[in-house]
Amino acid sequence: MPNLQGDKIPMSHTLSTRQFFLAVVMITILAACSTDVRPPVGHMDTPRHHYENGLRFLDDNDLQRATQEFHLALEMDPDYGPALSGRGVVLAMRGDEDGAREFLDEGYSAAQDEEQELVSHISAIRSSAALAENGALSPGEAADWSEDAFVDGLDLIEDNPGLNDPALYYYMGDTYLQALDFASAETMYSRARDLGQGYEAKAEARWRMVQDIRRAAPQSSIGKRIALVESITRADMAALLVEELDIEQLFGSPSMAGASSSGFTPPGSSPSGTAADRVTDIWGHPLRADMERVINLGVRGLAPYEDGRFDPDAPMARAEVALVLEDIIVRATNTPSLATMFFGQQSPFADMRSDHPAFNAVMVCTTRGLMAGRAGSGNFDPTGGYSGAEAVLSINQLRVELDRL
């Protein structure tokens, strides 16, 4: 006779099935909790601490260490907005616009409060300035992108005055600097300096640099660009002499061209101007034409080395800049006695003896206001670098000196 109540499932089978599904659920939850999350190993092992460390490495241009710190933050919190934005800045500094935008968008979306949202806007501005500096984005496009982020940042600050961050103004200044909008850059750096919070010194340095550039008033686009570099190269100096000083016009007469104040005659020089033909390491360089002109003129301090190299991307030392400027003023004024004027005199600089090969050149330049010693140190720093702003200002002062003479 059939069982009208149906076959019953054994109780033990029912429990084992429930236990199985419960175990699956628990394993899934535990796996989800353990994936991509690293527990802290100390009181300072926090996403915020690693993010702030990453910023310090960014300031030092140590992109590898910065990336490591942002990774450590994201290991603890994969959705930590500031670290995601930091990754975007790293990629921007490496010239990866698409990658930078992706991480910056993620950082903005992951922001959990107004402070983190402001960080995302500051990171966008910093990234656009970096992309403009390395040529991955045009200065105009960078300025447009930055201005949008800047306005959004100001709106946040208006609603939350305690969030006012000098970084917002500082990096906006960097963007304006790349766009060669020096007046706006000066305003931004001044605002960042006044807000302080650790930005006083570097904002002051940028502000002074912009003031120097505006005072020098470079005429050519390349002069304005070179004015932004931290340490000029031999190629940069050659370009400044050609574009800003018009050195060919200055040395146009046969008596001036091809014979420096030191008596140097470029190897292979001839009336047709072929001194640069033997210098092969400038071929393919964007500033090759400027270097060829300077080499053919035999400017002291910018002559090819004995092995025939020009070494265009080598930084110019301050003593070398002095040699260049001295040679120009001696030859342009036809006053060879200037090249020995300070022989035998005592050096006013603690780090430069009077028998230094560039001592006379340094004295010619410093006594005429073309260059200056290191402020407050009593040193000239002959082997130190020379910034683009300093170089443009020196060229401008040289032009004034030559007009006066």
Please name the residue ranges forming H helices in 62-197.
Answer: 63-76, 81-93, 97-110, 114-133, 139-159, 166-178, 182-195
Residue with tokens 């190629």: 235
Q: Which amino acid is at 195?
A: L
Q: Which range (30-44, 135-149, 249-263, 332-346) has the least confidence? A: 249-263
Residue with tokens 């101007």: 273
Mean of all residue pLDDT scores within the chain: 88
Q: Which range (65-69, 344-348, 376-380) has the least confidence? A: 376-380
Q: Is the pLDDT reported for residue 263 higher than 70? A: no
Closest CA to 131 of 94, 180, 87, 167: 94
pLDDT at 27 (0 to 100): 54
Domains of the chain, each with CATH number or no CATH:
47-216 (1.25.40.10), 222-404 (no CATH)
- The whole-number average pLDDT for the span 150-177 is 95
- The whole-number average pLDDT for the span 36-55 is 88
CB-based contacts of 367, cutoff 8 Å, min separation 6? none
Instruction: Look up the pTM and report it.
Output: 0.78
- The whole-number average pLDDT for the span 279-298 is 93
Reduced to 3 states (helix: H, G, I; strand: E, B; else coil), residue 233 is strand
Token duo for residue 330: 């001696």
- Tens digits of per-residue pLDDT, 215-239? 988 989 999 999 999 999 999 999 9
pLDDT at 36 (0 to 100): 61
pLDDT bucket at 28, cuts 50 / 70 / 90: low
Residue with tokens 């429990």: 15
Q: Is the pLDDT reported for residue 86 higher than 80? A: yes
